[in-house]
């Protein structure tokens, strides 16, 4: 499947097969007015199978969220039908308002206006800890 069918927009490539809907929800793509294509189980040389999301509009993508969910994703920025930028992701060092601390003893459990901040504590295992109570994500 060719990406040049989009003139201006974004293609999220190399999504782990089966993760596309999760990413669709996290990025709130259902709020967009433009065309969004979810292509599942595309044959891939590297991955065997992969998902692809095509967004037919230039938009700010939260790369931290993407890097947290699936750091293997490639983000292709398309302008005038050509790839103008290709970004490879890494797990972000810090996540803001993506995860929610489940520790009932954490200050965030009683003061909901606080930002939920998680920090990467183990890059290999992609483990995040609450910046307030140091509780691990569950």
Partner 1 sequence: MRHLLNITDLTVDEVDGILKLADEITAHPDDYREAMRYKKLATLFFEPSTRTRLSFEAAMLELGGSVLGFSSADASSTAKGETVTDTVRTVGCYADIIAMRHPKEGAPMAAVQVTTVPIINAGDGGHNHPTQTLTDLLTIRREKGRLSNMTIGLCGDLKFGRTVHSLIAAMAQYEGISFVLISPQELRVPQYIERLMREKGCRFSEAERMEDVIDQLDILYMTRVQRERFFNEADYIRLRDSYILTPEKLIPARKDLSILHPLPRVTEISHKVDADPRASYFRQVLCGKQVRKALIMFLLDPKQRGEA
Tokens of 83: 């790839």
CA distances (Å), origin 123, targets 31, 83, 87: 32, 30, 19
| Distance (Å, whole) CA 50 – CA 54 | 13
111 touches partner 1 (CB under 8 A): yes
132 touches partner 1 (CB under 8 A): yes
- CB of 81 closer than 8 Å to CB of 115: no
- Minimum distance between the CB of residue 54 and partner 1, rounded to whole angstroms? 39
Nearer to partner 1, 88 or 126 (CB): 126
123 touches partner 1 (CB under 8 A): no
Q: Scanning residues 69 to 108, which ones bind partner 1 (CB under 8 A)?
A: 103, 105-108
Close Cβ partners of 13 (under 8 Å, ≥ 6 residues apart): 3, 50, 52, 73, 74, 75, 76
Q: Scanning residues 33 to 52, which ones bind partner 1 (CB under 8 A)?
A: none
- Minimum distance between the CB of residue 69 and partner 1, rounded to whole angstroms? 24
Report residue 25 CA to chain centroid gap. Answer: 10
109 touches partner 1 (CB under 8 A): yes
Residues that bind partner 1 (CB under 8 A): 103, 105-111, 113-114, 130-136
């Amino acid at each position: 499947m060719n990406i040049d069918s989009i003139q201006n927009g974004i293609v999220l490539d190399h999504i782990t097969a089966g993760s596309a809907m999760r990413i669709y929800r996290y990025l709130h793509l259902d709020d967009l007015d433009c065309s969004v294509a979810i292509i599942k189980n595309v044959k891939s040389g590297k991955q065997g199978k992969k998902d692809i999301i095509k967004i037919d509009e230039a938009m700010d993508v939260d790369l931290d969220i993407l890097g947290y969910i699936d750091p293997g994703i490639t983000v292709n920025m398309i302008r005038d039908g050509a790839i103008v930028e290709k970004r490879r992701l890494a797990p972000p060092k810090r996540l803001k308002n993506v995860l929610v601390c489940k520790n009932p003893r954490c200050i965030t459990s009683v003061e909901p206006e606080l930002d939920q901040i998680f920090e990467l504590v183990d890059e290999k295992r992609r483990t995040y800890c609450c910046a307030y109570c140091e509780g691990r994500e569950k």
